[in-house]
């Protein structure tokens, strides 16, 4: 086994004196500029960030403070919170009775005056006849009163004639008595004739008083008949009013369409008992309009008479023209059953909506396909 001698180790180069010096003794002038530039860059980044944030906050503040003004100044005010409306009239009964006929079908078009529901009218016709009989009886009593007054006037005339004739007899017997008194004074007549003349005068005066009393009685009877006539006329008026009421109740047995339109679903059928206030059917008018609930911030320039365009979800692509007729005097929340009371506690500001009525122009195509309750989009063209 051969042993190989170790290779000679090369001499290490000498370390300079500078390398042997401590680190603290080495110069650091090259690191200071780097630290300053780094700090400056960080400050610049923070400043840019703050500037961007301030600018964004300013933009947001400016937009929020001017947003309502911009919205109100737009020439086209649009809302999708709109729907079609029409006059929907629930028709009810005024009287109690049994339905004898329902003369229409569901959703049938009708004209004003068309019969919709008929209630049995036998009882009501009998009431009319009874009331008319009462009028006839009152008229007969009034006619009898008139005949009695005519008879009474003839009695008064007869009594007046009797008074006049008896008055003439009284005057004649008075003159006869005066003449007999003169003759007795001269002795040309007897006392017996004078007594007879006095008796005749007194008898005729008594008869005159009786006839005058009878005349007064007959005149008072006329006053009684006049009072009876007033009472009979009042009774006649009451009975005529009863006839009118009976006829009105008879008319109530016929429920007719008050206007042209389309009926809804029938609520009653033949043979059903109804009472006053029972709804039997509804009638929808032919005139349709739009109620658009605009935000209060949108109504700055909206006025009655402004032109408007309406689109309906059920008829896409069809535009109906119209105009603003009226603007509600209060927000929709004021007409609810329980209006909001902001003075009771916590308050959250909510933009209110104001109903705006838009009337469609007449004689437009497809208006016959519009139905109350349809959703719509309304656009009002405002004038600055």
CATH of domain 122-251: 1.10.287.620
Q: Give yes or no for a contact between 86 and 288, defined as CB atoms under 8 angstroms apart.
A: yes
Place of tokens 């109903």: 355
Note the pLDDT of residue 20.
Answer: 44
Note the pLDDT of residue 22.
Answer: 47
Return d(Cα 283, Cα 262) in angstroms, integer: 6
pLDDT of residue 7 exceeding 70, the answer is no
Mean pLDDT across 249-278: 94
The tens digit of pLDDT for each residue in 187-199 reads: 776 777 878 888 8
Fold observed for domain 73-119+262-341+349-381:
Elongation Factor Tu (Ef-tu); domain 3 (2.40.30)
Tell me, rounded to whole angstroms, the distance of Cα 209 from its chain centroid: 73
Give the percent of the chain with pLDDT over 70. Answer: 85
Q: What is the pTM of this model?
A: 0.63
| Domain extents in the chain | 73-119+262-341+349-381, 122-251
> Shortest CA distance to 255 belongs to which of 126, 151, 132, 113?
113
- Residue by residue, DSSP assigns 162-206 as HHHHHHHHHHHHHHHHHHHHHHHHHTSS-HHHHHHHHHHHHHHHH
The tens digit of pLDDT for each residue in 219-261 reads: 899 899 999 999 999 999 999 999 999 999 999 999 999 999 9
């Amino acid at each position: 086994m051969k042993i190989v001698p170790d290779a000679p180790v090369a001499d290490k180069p000498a370390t300079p004196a500078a390398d042997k010096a401590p680190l603290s003794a080495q110069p650091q002038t090259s690191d200071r500029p780097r630290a300053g530039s780094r700090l400056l860059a960080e400050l610049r980044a923070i400043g840019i960030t703050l500037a961007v944030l301030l600018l964004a906050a300013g933009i947001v503040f400016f937009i929020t403070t001017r947003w309502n003004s911009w919205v109100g100044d737009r020439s086209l005010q649009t809302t999708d919170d709109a729907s079609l409306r029409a006059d929907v009239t629930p028709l009810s009964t005024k009287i109690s009775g049994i339905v004898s006929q329902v003369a229409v079908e569901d959703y049938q078009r009708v004209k004003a005056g068309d019969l919709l529901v008929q209630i049995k009218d036998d009882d009501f016709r009998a009431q009319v006849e009874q009331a008319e009989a009462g009028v006839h009886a009152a008229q007969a009593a009034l006619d009898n009163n008139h005949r009695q007054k005519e008879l009474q006037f003839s009695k008064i005339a007869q009594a007046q004639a009797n008074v006049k004739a008896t008055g003439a007899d009284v005057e004649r017997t008075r003159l006869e008595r005066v003449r007999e008194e003169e003759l007795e004074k001269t002795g040309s007549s007897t006392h017996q004739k004078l007594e007879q003349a006095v008796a005749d005068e007194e008898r005729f005066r008594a008869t005159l008083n009786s006839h005058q009393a009878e005349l007064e009685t007959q005149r008072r009877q006329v006053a009684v008949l006049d009072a009876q006539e007033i009472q009979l006329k009042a009774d006649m008026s009451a009975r005529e009013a009863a006839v009118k009421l009976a006829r009105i109740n008879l008319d109530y047995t016929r429920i007719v369409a008050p206007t042209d339109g389309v009926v809804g679903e029938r609520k009653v059928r033949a043979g059903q008992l109804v009472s006053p206030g029972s709804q039997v059917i509804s009638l929808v008018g032919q005139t349709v309009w739009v109620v658009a609930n605009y935000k209060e911030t949108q109504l700055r320039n909206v006025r009655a008479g402004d032109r408007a365009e309406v689109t309906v979800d059920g008829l896409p692509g069809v535009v109906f023209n119209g105009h603003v007729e009226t603007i509600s005097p209060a927000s929709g929340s004021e007409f609810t059953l329980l209006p909001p009371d902001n003075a009771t506690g916590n308050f959250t500001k909510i933009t209110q909506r104001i109903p705006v009525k838009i009337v469609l122009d007449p004689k437009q195509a497809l208006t016959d396909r519009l139905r109350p309750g349809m959703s719509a989009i309304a656009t009002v063209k405002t004038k600055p």
